[in-house]
Amino acid sequence: MAINDVVQARIIGTWHGQTTLGSFYYLAQSGPGNVVPFLDEFRIRISNGAETILSAEYTTTRLEAQRVSPLPLTFHVVIAINTPGTIAGASVPTSVAVVLQKHTQFAGRKYRGRWFWPGLSASHQATSQLNATGQGLFNSLASQCAAPLNDTDGTTWIPILRHGYAPGTGVLTYTPITEVIASPILRNQRRRQIGKGK
């Protein structure tokens, strides 16, 4: 791999029998850009941090990473985890998610994105919103998602918002993420309802 390559990381989990999937994209800004140390750092900074604030009814089953730009897709690696969240007690229903809003330096819908984060503990919500404790925890997670990753191989990885492949090039177009904000209002994701899929 090389500088300006883009890697996709995925957090895959299970929640009340449903499979959940979250995708993240990072640009190799400097260094060799190897996928294995990248995924190790992603686990420490993002996945492990999320596990400490999620309901014990949610389990992170594995992490995946692969180069997605330039094409072809290469260097697919997997870390099996099977680690439940650490917050005891019930979770909210599977269709309810915390929304982390991705911002860039540009205005407009094209330059915004969202992660629908699964596994919220019922103890961290009140009146269909994050309570003060939940807001603080997800604010901290949002900050980690906005920050560059620096792996043990010497690569700096920048979180990006992906747009699509430039025609005829196999190179992904993107905009760097400048800020991630945890919305206090909980949202509903229909595809995470029981029997609907991911």
pLDDT band at 27 (very low <50, low <70, confident <90, very high): very high
CB atoms closer than 10 angstroms to residue 43: 19
Q: Is residue 197 part of a domain?
A: no
For residue 198, being part of any structural domain is answered with no
Give how many domains the chain has, as a whole number.
1
- Domain contains 103: yes
Tell me: the pLDDT tens digits for 87-146? 999 999 999 999 999 999 999 999 999 999 999 999 999 999 999 999 999 999 999 999
Structural domain that includes position 178: 6-192
Mean pLDDT for 69-83 is 94
